[in-house]
Structure 1
């Protein structure tokens, strides 16, 4: 009986881990014109940090900021690189 309880606990914790890991990996989102979006985390205190990270992600091309959310000292941006 004790072994059955241990197996049940192991299975339930394994299923919980599996279901939570599925939440962390999602398909990329796209803009209405088909460009893939990217999320960037950067320092909210330095707009230059955010700009440099976005330019690096877009291979030094331009980019559009779709959303910007600041939480304390961290800024989360969702960007879409501009087409050539």
Structure 2
């Protein structure tokens, strides 16, 4: 058996194929966890995303605390009982 036949025999083995598939899946999952570059508002200010329970004003409180006052809401959504607020701090 030559080297290419040996390699082909290894790849066809079900456990090795499963291990390769698992390794590729884990690599993809880790790549998805990498940090993304920050998003910016149309006027160039960096934005921040906070999440809080739906129906509470905790998102606004977090935004005010982080901005030291005023902020602009870029997007405000609620899904599955979780509210997401994307905001940008106003210039002081």
TM-score, normalised via structure 2 length? 0.71
**Which protein has greater RCO, CA pairs closer than 8 Å, 6+ apart?**
1
What do residues 10-57 of structure 1 show as CA deviations (whole Å, max 9, x unaligned)? 22212112213323332211112111111110122112x111111233
Which stretches in structure 1 are left out of the alignment for 5+ residues? Answer: none
Matched, 1:15 2:38: no
Aligned length: 82
Rounded Cα–Cα distance in structure 1 between residues aligned with 2:66 and 2:27: 30
Rounded Cα–Cα distance in structure 2 between residues aligned with 1:81 and 1:22: 30
TM-score, normalised via structure 1 length? 0.76
Q: Which residue in the other structure is 2:6 paired with? A: none
Rounded Cα–Cα distance in structure 2 between residues aligned with 1:83 and 1:11: 51
Which stretches in structure 2 are left out of the alignment for 5+ residues? Answer: 1-8
For residue 91 of structure 2, give the secondary structure of its aligned residue in structure 1.
Answer: coil
Larger radius of gyration: 2
Rounded Cα–Cα distance in structure 2 between residues aligned with 1:21 and 1:82: 34
Q: 1:7 to 1:52 in 2, by over 3 A?
A: same
